[in-house]
Amino acid sequence: MQKNYYQQLLIFHTIVKTRNISAAARQLELSVAAVSKSLQTLEQHLGVPLIQRTTRKLTLTEAGEKLVQQTTLAVKQIEHSLTDIQSWANPPAGLVRITLPQLAFYLVLQPHYAEFCQQYPQIQLELSIDNATVDIVEQHFDFGIRFGHSIEDGMIAHQLTTPMQEGLFVSKQYALQYGIPQTPTELSQHQLIGHRFITHNRLNPLTLNLDGFEKQFEVKQQLILNDTEMVVDAVLQGFGIGRIFDLRYQQLGLKDQFIPVLQPYWRQFPALYLYYFPRQQQLKRAKAVIDFLLAKRTIT
């Protein structure tokens, strides 16, 4: 077999796809003369013309049509194999920037990112913890993780968790000393561990679900925190009723230490999603992180 057949076939298929020798040359980063010479050599080897050339267009001959039909799959398979070998020989490398809220870090990234860094030592992760909605394109993030309702249109999104609830919990110590509210109206007799949003310096009101509608309640707050993980510690110390997402509560294994409060009224939240602008997954390093996290999902 002539040793240049594959290169000649590749050039021939590129000419067929672009329908123009000059366009094929640009795509292959070759000179027009080199592309024309390759086609001419292939035709000489085969002994038949493959393309009819006119000043206006290129048209496949019957032999050219037959060659396209019989070699397209083989060329694609070879290209795929070469790409696989190249990926194996040249592992993904570089910086991947991710924006996500604190909850997403603990639920999605913290359990796995050490394993990822061991598996992909050439990839550098930059994690930006931000509970506010971020424009990932404008701020040059490779992808983000957010609640489903806050993802803008035009993004590709993959569900990472189940929907969740914002639970209310007290410590056993608090329950023994002050009791447990049985209805939302009894909250006036208790202390709530307050939470202030860092991003816009606003208190996070206590919101409960009453018959499918959300209603806010004012509750005494002796302690106000701007870190949801500090709320866990404050509940443990008996400061009052704390708000903790049920998935985080389960992850921390707090069943023996905390008592759920007013569970039928817990506020509903959508699932967390990984999302990115369509072209971002074309970056090998970003795709490696995305595929790794999607493989770690426990949902189906």
Residue 286 has pLDDT above 70, yes or no: yes
Domain co-membership, 257 together with 291: no
Domain boundaries, position 120: 94-160+273-296
Domain co-membership, 175 together with 136: no
Which of 55, 89, 123 is at the close of a domain?
A: 89
Domain count, the chain: 3
Domain co-membership, 173 together with 223: yes
Half-sphere exposure of 232 (CA within 13 A, CB side): 15
Residue in 266, 245, 242, 230 with CA at minimum distance from that of residue 194: 242
Domain co-membership, 19 together with 46: yes
Helix (H, G, I), strand (E, B) or coil at 37: helix
Q: Residue 1: its pLDDT value, please?
A: 45
Segment 219-233, tens digit of pLDDT: 999 999 999 999 999
Domain co-membership, 35 together with 183: no
Segment 131-152, tens digit of pLDDT: 888 899 889 999 999 999 888 8
Query: Global pTM?
Result: 0.70
Which of 31, 58, 89 is at the close of a domain?
A: 89
Domain co-membership, 43 together with 120: no
Domain co-membership, 178 together with 246: yes
Query: From CA 22, how far away is CA 32, in angstroms rounded?
Result: 6
Domain co-membership, 262 together with 202: yes
Which of 34, 62, 89 is at the close of a domain?
A: 89
Nearest-5° angle of CA 220, CA 224, CA 228? Answer: 120
Residue 43 has pLDDT above 50, yes or no: yes
Query: From CA 108, how far away is CA 54, in angstroms rounded?
Result: 59
Q: Kindly write down the DSSP assignment for every residue of 104-141, as one continuous string.
A: HIIIIITTTHHHHHHH-TTEEEEEEE-SS---TTTTT-
CATH number at residue 150: 3.40.190.10
Amino acid symbol at 1: M
Domain co-membership, 155 together with 194: no
